[in-house]
């Protein structure tokens, strides 16, 4: 039987696992990279789209994504606010991420893409499987929403027990069907594990969609001015 963390409490075993994960994440003070996103959709007519751009991250809550192809768009996230800018027209609009997360059920929408554990704050946690040097090579933490959610039933966070890195995230609907699965690959830079590729498969009643995000020419902890996020 796995141990359950009640609302307002976290099981000590889960605390220990997450502390190790966050220890690596805490070493990333800032980061910039080129990003290539490939979207393959089987919803309706099959099609593939490729996006190219750049990304900047600073601290826990500052992210800037600049898409350069096939369209041009800039999105800047600071805390629970996201600003989306069309650089060609100067038009911009602001989104309240708290409201958007509640409306869509995507609890990690707009969060730092390098922080795979931030969304855990929205769940009651249960340790389904404990890994270690002499046992299984992965920890599985199951999260159920603290607030009723018509889109989300539970989330499984699979964590490599040797490297203390999240390697897979599975999302299930309230009926128990798998609706999304993300696989995460890493590269080591300056003795810090950094996400190199994230592949997500989303299943829908009318088809599925694959989204693969690759990070290239990664620069880590070289200093990024706050003005980049203005």
Q: What's the chain's Rg over C-alpha atoms?
A: 18
- Terminal Cα distance for the chain, rounded: 49
Average pLDDT of the residues in 212-227: 95
pLDDT digits (tens, 9 = 90+) for 3-26: 444 434 678 999 999 999 999 988
Average pLDDT of the residues in 201-220: 93
| pLDDT reading at 102 higher than 80 | no
| pLDDT reading at 30 higher than 90 | yes
Single out the residue of 57, 102, 72 nearest to residue 224, CA to CA. 57
Pairwise pLDDT comparison (220 vs 105), residue with the higher score: 220
Residue numbers of the domain that contains 125: 3-229
Average pLDDT of the residues in 76-86: 83
Single out the residue of 43, 46, 50 nearest to residue 203, CA to CA. 43
Pairwise pLDDT comparison (148 vs 138), residue with the higher score: 138
pLDDT digits (tens, 9 = 90+) for 87-101: 888 888 887 766 665
Q: What are phi and psi of 75, to 5 degrees?
A: -125, 135
Where residue 230 falls among pLDDT bands split at 50, 70, 90?
confident
Q: What is the pTM of this model?
A: 0.82
Q: How far apart (Å, rounded) are the C-alpha atoms in residues 143 and 102?
A: 17
Q: What are phi and psi of 13, to 5 degrees?
A: -65, -40
Single out the residue of 172, 180, 185 nearest to residue 201, CA to CA. 180
Where residue 64 falls among pLDDT bands split at 50, 70, 90?
very high
Looking up residue 90, the CATH number of its domain turns out to be: 2.50.20.10
| pLDDT reading at 155 higher than 70 | yes
Domain count of the fold of the chain: 1
Q: What is the pLDDT of residue 6?
A: 41
| Secondary structure (3-state) at 35 | strand
């Amino acid at each position: 039987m796995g141990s359950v963390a009640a609302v307002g409490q976290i099981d000590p075993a889960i605390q220990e696992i997450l502390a190790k994960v966050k220890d690596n994440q805490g070493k990333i003070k800032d980061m910039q990279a080129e990003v290539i996103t490939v979207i393959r959709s089987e919803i309706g007519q099959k099609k593939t789209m490729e996006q190219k751009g750049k990304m900047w991250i600073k601290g826990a809550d500052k992210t800037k994504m600049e898409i350069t192809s096939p369209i041009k768009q800039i999105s800047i996230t600071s805390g629970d606010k996201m600003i989306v800018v069309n650089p060609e027209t100067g038009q911009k609009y602001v989104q309240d991420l708290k409201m958007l997360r509640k409306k869509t059920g995507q609890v990690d929408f707009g969060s730092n893409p390098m922080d795979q554990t931030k969304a855990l704050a929205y769940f009651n946690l249960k340790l389904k499987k404990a890994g270690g040097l002499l046992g299984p090579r992965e920890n599985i933490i199951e999260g159920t929403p603290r607030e009723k959610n018509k889109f989300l039933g539970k989330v499984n966070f699979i964590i490599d027990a040797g490297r203390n890195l999240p390697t897979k995230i599975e999302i299930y609907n309230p009926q128990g069907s798998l609706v999304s699965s993300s696989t995460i690959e890493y590269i080591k830079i300056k003795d810090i594990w950094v996400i190199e590729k994230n592949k997500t498969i989303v299943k829908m009643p009318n088809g599925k969609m694959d989204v693969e995000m690759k990070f290239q020419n990664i620069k880590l902890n070289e200093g990024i001015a706050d003005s980049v996020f203005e």
